[in-house]
Chain A
Amino acid sequence: MIFTDKNFQEEVLKSPIPVLVEFWASWCPPCKMVEPIIDRLEKEYMGRMKIGKMNVDINPVTAKRYNVKGLPTFIIFINGKIVYRGVAAKTENELRRVIEEILASQDEEVRV
Chain B
Amino acid sequence: MNTYHNDRLTCWNCPSAILRGNVDFRACGQSMRRFTSMEGGDVVIECERRPELGHFEPTINFSECPQWKPTKYGRLLDNMRVLILGIDGYLGWTLALKLGALGFEVSGVDNFLRRRMVREKGSMSVVPIASMEERIKAAKKYLDIDINFRKIDVLNRDKLADFLKEVKPEVIVHYAEVPSAPYSMVDADHAIFVQKNNVLGTLGLLFLMRDIVPEATLIKLGTMGEYGAPLTGRPLFEGFFPADAVLLWNGREWSLGGEMTPRDPVSFYHVSKVQDTFNVYEACKYWWLRSYDVMQGVIYGVHTDELATDDKLRTRFDVDEWFGTVVNRFVAQAILGIPLTLYGEGEQIRGFIALEDAMECMVRLISSPPEPGQYTVVNQVSGLYKLKTIAKTVAEVGAEFGFDVKIQRIENPRVESEVHPLEVVAENLPERGFRPRVSLEREIRRMFDLLSRKHIVRRLEKVKDTIIPRTWWSGDKRDPKVLGVYSPDEVREEEGGFRGILHMPLDSVFVYRWEDEEK
Contacts and interface: CB of A to CB of B under 8 A. Distances in A.
A64 B41 CA distance: 11
Given A33-B240, A37-B244, A57-B23, A28 B258 contact: yes
B257 A27 contact: no
B148 interface: no
Given A29-B375, A34-B243, A60 B24 contact: yes
B472 interface: no
B25 A60 contact: yes
A33 B25 CA distance: 21
B318 to A, nearest CB: 36
B241 A33 contact: yes
A49 interface: no
Given A28-B27, A60-B23, A90 B243 contact: yes
Contacts of A26: 12, 370-374
Contact of B12 (A27, A58, A68, A69): A58
A31 B259 CA distance: 11
A64 B257 contact: no
B309 interface: no
Interface residues on chain B, size class: 35 or more
Interface in B353-406: 370-376
A88 interface: yes
B485 to A, nearest CB: 49
B103 interface: no
Contact of A27 (B240, B244, B375): B375
B176 interface: no
A89 B27 contact: no
B212 interface: no
A100 interface: no
B332 interface: no
B255 A88 contact: yes
Given A29-B240, A70-B27, A91 B257 contact: yes
Interface in B112-138: none
A27 to B, nearest CB: 3
Interface residues on chain A, size class: 20 to 34
B25 A57 contact: yes
B242 interface: yes
B192 interface: no
A44 interface: no
Contact of B258 (A5, A30, A61, A92): A30
Interface in A36-82: 36-37, 56-58, 60-61, 63-64, 68-71
A89 B41 contact: no
B24 A89 contact: no
A14 interface: no
A25 interface: yes
A94 interface: yes
B55 interface: no
Contacts of A91: 243-244, 246, 253, 255, 257
Contacts of B255: 88-91, 94
A29 B23 contact: no
Contacts of A85: none
B284 interface: yes
B31 to A, nearest CB: 10
B43 A60 contact: yes
B257 to A, nearest CB: 3
A26 B27 CA distance: 12
Nearest to B40: A61
A92 B25 contact: no
A30 B24 contact: no
A29 B428 CA distance: 14
B358 to A, nearest CB: 24
Nearest to A32: B258
25 contacts: A26-B12, A26-B370, A26-B372, A27-B284, A27-B374, A27-B375, A29-B260, A29-B375, A32-B374, A32-B376, A33-B240, A33-B241, A33-B243, A57-B25, A58-B43, A60-B23, A60-B25, A60-B41, A60-B43, A61-B42, A90-B243, A91-B243, A91-B253, A91-B255, A92-B243
Given A27-B372, A64-B24, 16 more contacts: A25-B373, A26-B372, A27-B284, A29-B240, A29-B259, A30-B257, A30-B258, A33-B240, A34-B258, A58-B12, A58-B57, A58-B58, A60-B22, A60-B25, A61-B41, A68-B25
Interface of A: 5, 25-34, 36-37, 56-58, 60-61, 63-64, 68-71, 88-92, 94
Closest 7 interchain pairs by CB? A27-B373, A30-B258, A89-B257, A26-B371, A29-B258, A33-B257, A26-B374
